[in-house]
């Protein structure tokens, strides 16, 4: 979700009072594993969807709401091209709901990665969380907030994954390194798995689905994890050089004999045009792990409602191909950005459509 040209977050957050109700250190050191945090949110989301509990409707002019949704569409189309392609295959109501959620996530991400990131404090994140609670109470601050209010009144979306994503931003304030994959898993859940939990009630299960809805939520979590692992592998160079962040687990680097300093410098030789053999071996390991998580995500896609299966398959297939693009670049993710050309994306749509045709009942 990173781009130099950003939709700026409400600047009033920068003048937050100087007393944090939840410190970043509390999130990092609370003793709960990522799997436990994830399970707590999954249970809350399943309970809300089972009860079909929705937020209160808001009273705003339809013209203003339509214009705000259009702005959400524009932001999604500009900053998340692969994701946007998938949304265009959905019904209009589901499209708008997903765009509203995406833009809230983007605004949240901007707090720690946007133009005002150096000024963002734990107190500012507290105010953002308070604003989130207002949205769930039907009290938006602006019209972009109102699109999420409207979405919450139409679909049984729970607040917990939104809170967990804000905690992911708190982690970013104090944690630029991850020792183990388990540590990274918690971060990936908070900043991406949460999106799967937010989106699942919009997608919905097939009308004839008779299995455990938890299975479908777990697949949605896996897709969020797979996407984030792919982002991390694609953006290694940018994160290291511009943010002094290394998201790949340090224990994995050590296993392949690679130091932090080598990652920060970049393991690509301009004179030879080659990537260090150790990095190639390391990347092959990381890509294989990400591909396995994509396979886990596949298990739940055909359990979704028929109007959501093709969009999700399309997004999954296209995003997974970024891993192929990293390979095609010779594993050079230090000064080359892996991407899937638009033509290739469209050529993949028929195959994704065929995968989506048969509903899975259990």
Tens digit of pLDDT for each residue in 306-326?
A: 999 999 999 999 999 999 999
Whole-prediction pTM: 0.92
How high is the pLDDT of residue 19? 53
Percent of the chain with pLDDT over 70: 93
How high is the pLDDT of residue 4? 41
Cα separation, 320 vs 323, whole angstroms: 6
Contacts of 127 (CB under 8 A, 6+ apart): 12, 13, 16
> What is the CB neighbour count within 10 angstroms for residue 297?
24
Q: For residue 141, what are its two tokens?
A: 């601050």
Mean pLDDT of 9-14: 57
Distances (CA, A) of 248 to 30, 189, 229, 245: 22, 15, 9, 9
Cα separation, 204 vs 308, whole angstroms: 8
Cα separation, 184 vs 290, whole angstroms: 13
Average pLDDT of the residues of the chain: 92
Q: Torsions phi, psi of 249, nearest 5?
A: -60, 135
Residue 214, classified by CB atoms within 10 Å of its CB into exposed (0-12), middle (13-18) or buried (19+), is middle
Mean pLDDT of 206-231: 95
Mean pLDDT of 128-140: 95
How many distinct helices (H) and strands (E) make up the chain?
Answer: 17, 2
Mean pLDDT of 181-197: 96
Q: For residue 238, what are its two tokens?
A: 């940018």
Burial 54-77 (b: 16+ CB within 10 A, else e): ebeebeeeeeebeebbebbbebbe
How high is the pLDDT of residue 17? 55
Give pLDDT tens digits for 15-28: 555 555 677 877 87
Give pLDDT tens digits for 255-279: 999 999 999 999 999 888 899 999 9
Domain ranges across the chain: 31-355
Q: How many CA atoms are closer than 13 Å to the CA of 278, on its beta-carbon side?
A: 12
User: Which is nearest to 183 in space by CA: 196, 195, 168, 198?
Assistant: 168
Assigned CATH topology for domain 31-355? Farnesyl Diphosphate Synthase (1.10.600)
Residue 287 has pLDDT above 60, yes or no: yes
279: part of which helix (H) or strand (E)?
Answer: helix 277-301
Residue 341 has pLDDT above 70, yes or no: yes
Percent of the chain with pLDDT over 90: 84
Cα separation, 21 vs 27, whole angstroms: 12
């Amino acid at each position: 979700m990173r781009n130099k040209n950003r939709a700026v977050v409400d600047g009033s957050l920068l003048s937050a009072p100087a007393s944090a109700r939840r410190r970043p250190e509390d999130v990092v050191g609370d003793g709960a594993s990522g799997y436990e945090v994830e399970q707590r949110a999954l249970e809350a989301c399943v309970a809300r969807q089972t009860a079909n509990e929705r937020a209160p409707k808001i009273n705003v002019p339809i013209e203003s709401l339509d214009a705000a949704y259009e702005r959400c569409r524009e932001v999604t189309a500009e900053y998340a091209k692969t994701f946007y392609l998938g949304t265009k295959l959905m019904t209009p109501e589901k499209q708008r709901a997903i765009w509203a959620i995406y833009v809230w996530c983007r605004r949240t991400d901007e707090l720690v990665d946007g133009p005002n990131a150096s000024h963002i404090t734990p107190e500012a994140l507290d105010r953002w969380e308070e604003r989130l609670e207002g949205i769930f109470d039907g009290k938006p601050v602006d019209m972009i907030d109102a699109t999420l209010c409207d979405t919450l009144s139409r679909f049984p979306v729970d607040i917990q994954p939104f809170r967990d994503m804000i905690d992911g931003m708190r982690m970013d304030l104090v944690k630029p390194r991850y020792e183990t994959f388990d540590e990274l898993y918690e971060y990936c859940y908070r900043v991406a798995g949460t999106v799967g939990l937010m989106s699942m009630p919009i997608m919905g299960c097939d009308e004839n689905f008779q299995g455990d809805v938890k299975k479908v939520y777990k697949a949605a979590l896996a897709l969020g994890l797979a996407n984030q692992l792919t982002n991390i592998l694609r953006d290694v160079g940018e994160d290291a050089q511009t943010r002094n962040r290394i998201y790949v687990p340090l224990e994995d680097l050590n296993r392949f004999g690679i130091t932090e300093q080598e990652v920060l410098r970049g393991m690509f030789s301009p004179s030879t045009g080659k990537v260090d053999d150790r990095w190639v071996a390391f990347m092959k390991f990381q890509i294989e792990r990400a591909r396995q998580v994509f396979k886990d995500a596949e298990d739940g896609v055909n359990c979704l409602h028929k109007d959501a299966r093709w969009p999700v398959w399309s997004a999954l297939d296209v995003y997974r191909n970024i891993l192929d693009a990293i390979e095609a670049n010779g594993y050079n993710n230090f000064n080359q950005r892996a991407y899937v050309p638009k033509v290739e994306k469209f050529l993949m749509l028929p195959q994704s459509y065929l995968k989506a045709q048969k509903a899975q009942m259990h």
